[in-house]
Amino acid sequence: MDANNFKYIVIVIICLFVILHKSFNIRIILALIIAFVIIFYIKYFYNKKPSTEIKNYPSLEFIKDEELSNFMYNIEDIYMYNPLEYENLIKTLNKFYEYYELAFIDETTANKNYEIMDTYKQNALNILSSIILTTDNQYIRYKINTSAETLNEIMTKHLDQISYLSDNDIYKNGYNVNTKIIDFDSTKPYNNYNDMFKNYSYEVY
Protein backbone atom coordinates (compact mmCIF):
# COMPACT_ATOMS: atom_id res chain seq x y z
CA MET A 1 0.00 0.00 0.00
CA ASP A 2 1.22 3.49 -0.85
CA ALA A 3 2.56 5.33 2.23
CA ASN A 4 0.41 8.40 1.53
CA ASN A 5 -2.77 6.31 1.18
CA PHE A 6 -2.00 4.52 4.44
CA LYS A 7 -1.53 7.90 6.13
CA TYR A 8 -4.91 9.11 4.87
CA ILE A 9 -6.67 5.94 6.08
CA VAL A 10 -5.14 6.39 9.53
CA ILE A 11 -6.42 9.99 9.61
CA VAL A 12 -9.95 8.83 8.78
CA ILE A 13 -9.86 6.09 11.44
CA ILE A 14 -8.60 8.47 14.10
CA CYS A 15 -11.30 11.03 13.29
CA LEU A 16 -14.00 8.35 13.38
CA PHE A 17 -12.71 6.97 16.67
CA VAL A 18 -12.58 10.35 18.37
CA ILE A 19 -16.04 11.45 17.27
CA LEU A 20 -17.86 8.10 17.46
CA HIS A 21 -16.49 7.38 20.89
CA LYS A 22 -19.40 9.32 22.38
CA SER A 23 -22.31 8.46 20.11
CA PHE A 24 -23.24 6.99 16.71
CA ASN A 25 -25.25 9.62 14.87
CA ILE A 26 -24.62 12.56 12.56
CA ARG A 27 -21.13 12.80 14.07
CA ILE A 28 -19.95 10.16 11.58
CA ILE A 29 -20.62 12.61 8.77
CA LEU A 30 -18.76 15.30 10.68
CA ALA A 31 -15.84 12.93 11.20
CA LEU A 32 -15.59 12.19 7.49
CA ILE A 33 -15.77 15.88 6.60
CA ILE A 34 -12.97 16.69 9.04
CA ALA A 35 -10.87 13.80 7.71
CA PHE A 36 -11.27 14.93 4.09
CA VAL A 37 -10.39 18.52 5.02
CA ILE A 38 -7.19 17.34 6.70
CA ILE A 39 -6.31 15.13 3.73
CA PHE A 40 -6.91 17.96 1.26
CA TYR A 41 -4.74 20.30 3.34
CA ILE A 42 -1.87 17.80 3.41
CA LYS A 43 -2.07 16.98 -0.32
CA TYR A 44 -2.26 20.67 -1.29
CA PHE A 45 0.90 21.66 0.56
CA TYR A 46 2.68 18.46 -0.45
CA ASN A 47 2.05 19.20 -4.14
CA LYS A 48 3.11 22.83 -3.78
CA LYS A 49 6.68 22.01 -2.75
CA PRO A 50 8.09 20.70 -6.10
CA SER A 51 7.04 23.85 -7.99
CA THR A 52 9.50 25.92 -5.96
CA GLU A 53 12.33 23.55 -6.89
CA ILE A 54 11.76 23.46 -10.66
CA LYS A 55 13.06 27.00 -11.08
CA ASN A 56 16.46 26.26 -9.56
CA TYR A 57 18.41 26.85 -12.76
CA PRO A 58 22.16 26.27 -12.91
CA SER A 59 24.14 29.27 -11.70
CA LEU A 60 26.62 31.28 -13.73
CA GLU A 61 29.24 30.67 -11.06
CA PHE A 62 32.24 32.07 -12.92
CA ILE A 63 30.92 34.54 -15.47
CA LYS A 64 31.43 38.10 -14.32
CA ASP A 65 30.56 39.61 -17.68
CA GLU A 66 27.23 41.42 -17.40
CA GLU A 67 26.19 40.85 -21.02
CA LEU A 68 26.77 37.10 -20.95
CA SER A 69 25.05 36.76 -17.57
CA ASN A 70 22.03 38.77 -18.70
CA PHE A 71 21.88 36.74 -21.88
CA MET A 72 21.67 33.44 -19.97
CA TYR A 73 19.03 34.77 -17.58
CA ASN A 74 16.97 35.93 -20.56
CA ILE A 75 16.87 32.40 -22.00
CA GLU A 76 16.17 30.56 -18.73
CA ASP A 77 12.84 29.36 -20.11
CA ILE A 78 14.60 27.04 -22.59
CA TYR A 79 16.28 25.16 -19.73
CA MET A 80 13.36 22.74 -19.42
CA TYR A 81 13.67 21.63 -23.05
CA ASN A 82 17.21 20.34 -22.64
CA PRO A 83 18.71 20.81 -19.15
CA LEU A 84 21.95 19.00 -20.04
CA GLU A 85 22.73 21.22 -23.03
CA TYR A 86 21.74 24.34 -21.10
CA GLU A 87 24.27 23.41 -18.42
CA ASN A 88 26.88 22.62 -21.10
CA LEU A 89 26.28 26.07 -22.57
CA ILE A 90 26.96 27.67 -19.18
CA LYS A 91 30.18 25.65 -18.78
CA THR A 92 31.32 26.66 -22.28
CA LEU A 93 30.64 30.35 -21.61
CA ASN A 94 32.48 30.04 -18.31
CA LYS A 95 35.58 28.75 -20.11
CA PHE A 96 35.26 31.40 -22.84
CA TYR A 97 35.24 34.19 -20.27
CA GLU A 98 38.03 32.58 -18.25
CA TYR A 99 40.41 32.88 -21.22
CA TYR A 100 39.06 36.36 -21.94
CA GLU A 101 40.12 37.51 -18.47
CA LEU A 102 43.49 35.78 -18.71
CA ALA A 103 44.30 37.71 -21.89
CA PHE A 104 43.83 41.00 -20.03
CA ILE A 105 45.97 39.78 -17.14
CA ASP A 106 48.79 38.76 -19.48
CA GLU A 107 48.63 40.42 -22.91
CA THR A 108 51.20 37.99 -24.32
CA THR A 109 48.59 35.19 -24.06
CA ALA A 110 46.01 37.08 -26.14
CA ASN A 111 47.17 35.57 -29.42
CA LYS A 112 46.87 31.99 -28.16
CA ASN A 113 43.72 32.69 -26.14
CA TYR A 114 41.96 34.12 -29.18
CA GLU A 115 42.15 30.75 -30.92
CA ILE A 116 40.88 28.92 -27.81
CA MET A 117 38.04 31.40 -27.29
CA ASP A 118 37.13 31.15 -30.96
CA THR A 119 36.61 27.40 -30.51
CA TYR A 120 34.50 27.92 -27.39
CA LYS A 121 32.40 30.45 -29.28
CA GLN A 122 31.59 27.96 -32.05
CA ASN A 123 30.85 25.27 -29.47
CA ALA A 124 28.52 27.60 -27.56
CA LEU A 125 26.56 28.48 -30.70
CA ASN A 126 26.28 24.82 -31.67
CA ILE A 127 25.10 23.83 -28.19
CA LEU A 128 22.46 26.56 -28.10
CA SER A 129 21.19 25.73 -31.59
CA SER A 130 21.06 21.99 -30.84
CA ILE A 131 18.27 22.63 -28.30
CA ILE A 132 15.99 23.32 -31.29
CA LEU A 133 16.02 19.57 -31.98
CA THR A 134 14.29 18.87 -28.66
CA THR A 135 11.14 20.95 -29.16
CA ASP A 136 8.39 21.62 -31.71
CA ASN A 137 7.38 24.80 -29.91
CA GLN A 138 7.64 27.46 -32.62
CA TYR A 139 8.08 30.30 -30.15
CA ILE A 140 10.98 28.53 -28.43
CA ARG A 141 12.57 27.63 -31.78
CA TYR A 142 12.34 31.25 -32.89
CA LYS A 143 13.77 32.43 -29.56
CA ILE A 144 16.71 30.04 -29.84
CA ASN A 145 17.50 31.27 -33.36
CA THR A 146 17.39 34.94 -32.39
CA SER A 147 19.28 34.22 -29.17
CA ALA A 148 22.03 32.52 -31.18
CA GLU A 149 22.43 35.69 -33.22
CA THR A 150 22.62 37.75 -30.03
CA LEU A 151 25.16 35.40 -28.47
CA ASN A 152 27.23 35.53 -31.65
CA GLU A 153 27.35 39.33 -31.46
CA ILE A 154 28.34 39.34 -27.77
CA MET A 155 31.10 36.76 -28.17
CA THR A 156 32.40 38.37 -31.37
CA LYS A 157 32.76 41.67 -29.53
CA HIS A 158 34.81 39.92 -26.84
CA LEU A 159 36.97 38.28 -29.49
CA ASP A 160 37.45 41.67 -31.15
CA GLN A 161 38.91 42.99 -27.90
CA ILE A 162 41.28 40.02 -27.62
CA SER A 163 42.33 40.52 -31.24
CA TYR A 164 43.25 44.11 -30.38
CA LEU A 165 45.35 42.91 -27.44
CA SER A 166 47.08 40.41 -29.71
CA ASP A 167 47.85 43.06 -32.33
CA ASN A 168 49.13 45.39 -29.62
CA ASP A 169 51.41 42.70 -28.22
CA ILE A 170 52.83 41.94 -31.68
CA TYR A 171 53.33 45.66 -32.31
CA LYS A 172 55.29 46.06 -29.07
CA ASN A 173 57.20 42.76 -29.02
CA GLY A 174 57.16 41.56 -32.61
CA TYR A 175 56.68 37.99 -33.81
CA ASN A 176 58.28 35.03 -32.09
CA VAL A 177 58.14 31.23 -32.27
CA ASN A 178 55.02 31.20 -30.07
CA THR A 179 53.08 33.72 -32.15
CA LYS A 180 50.04 32.26 -33.87
CA ILE A 181 48.60 33.93 -36.94
CA ILE A 182 44.88 34.48 -36.40
CA ASP A 183 43.16 32.63 -39.23
CA PHE A 184 40.06 34.44 -40.44
CA ASP A 185 39.43 32.16 -43.43
CA SER A 186 39.09 28.40 -43.53
CA THR A 187 36.73 25.73 -44.85
CA LYS A 188 33.31 25.87 -43.20
CA PRO A 189 30.14 23.75 -43.29
CA TYR A 190 27.46 24.58 -45.84
CA ASN A 191 24.94 26.13 -43.44
CA ASN A 192 27.16 28.90 -42.13
CA TYR A 193 26.78 32.52 -41.17
CA ASN A 194 29.25 35.40 -41.13
CA ASP A 195 30.71 37.73 -38.62
CA MET A 196 33.69 40.08 -38.82
CA PHE A 197 36.12 37.30 -37.95
CA LYS A 198 34.90 34.08 -39.54
CA ASN A 199 32.11 32.19 -41.15
CA TYR A 200 30.37 30.18 -38.43
CA SER A 201 27.87 27.36 -38.56
CA TYR A 202 24.84 26.34 -36.57
CA GLU A 203 25.81 22.79 -37.50
CA VAL A 204 25.64 20.48 -34.47
CA TYR A 205 28.90 18.57 -34.27
The answer to whether residue 186 sits within a structural domain is yes
Q: Which amino acid is at 27?
A: R
In this structure, the answer to whether residues 131 and 172 fall within a common structural domain is: yes
The band of 9, judged by pLDDT with boundaries at 50, 70 and 90, is low
b (16+ CB within 10 A) / e for 77-105: ebbebbeebbebbbbbbebbbebbebbee
The answer to whether residue 73 sits within a structural domain is yes
What are 140-153's pLDDT values in tens digits? 999 999 999 999 99
In this structure, the answer to whether residues 87 and 176 fall within a common structural domain is: yes
- Amino acid 53: pLDDT: 42
The answer to whether residue 61 sits within a structural domain is no
Residue 124 has pLDDT above 90, yes or no: yes
pTM: 0.59
In this structure, the answer to whether residues 135 and 160 fall within a common structural domain is: yes
In this structure, the answer to whether residues 7 and 85 fall within a common structural domain is: no
The band of 116, judged by pLDDT with boundaries at 50, 70 and 90, is very high
Residue 39 has pLDDT above 70, yes or no: no
Residue 24 domain boundaries? 3-54
How many domains, the chain? 2
Last residue of a domain, one of 32, 54, 76: 54
The answer to whether residue 87 sits within a structural domain is yes
In this structure, the answer to whether residues 86 and 177 fall within a common structural domain is: yes
In this structure, the answer to whether residues 118 and 194 fall within a common structural domain is: yes
Last residue of a domain, one of 11, 33, 54: 54
In this structure, the answer to whether residues 189 and 116 fall within a common structural domain is: yes
In this structure, the answer to whether residues 112 and 33 fall within a common structural domain is: no
Residue 133 has pLDDT above 50, yes or no: yes
In this structure, the answer to whether residues 113 and 172 fall within a common structural domain is: yes
In this structure, the answer to whether residues 74 and 173 fall within a common structural domain is: yes
The band of 50, judged by pLDDT with boundaries at 50, 70 and 90, is very low
The answer to whether residue 59 sits within a structural domain is no
The answer to whether residue 60 sits within a structural domain is no
CA end-to-end span of the chain: 49
More confident residue, 138 or 56: 138
In this structure, the answer to whether residues 93 and 141 fall within a common structural domain is: yes
Of 79-93, 95-109, 111-125, 182-196, the poorest mean pLDDT is in 182-196
Residue 60 has pLDDT above 90, yes or no: no
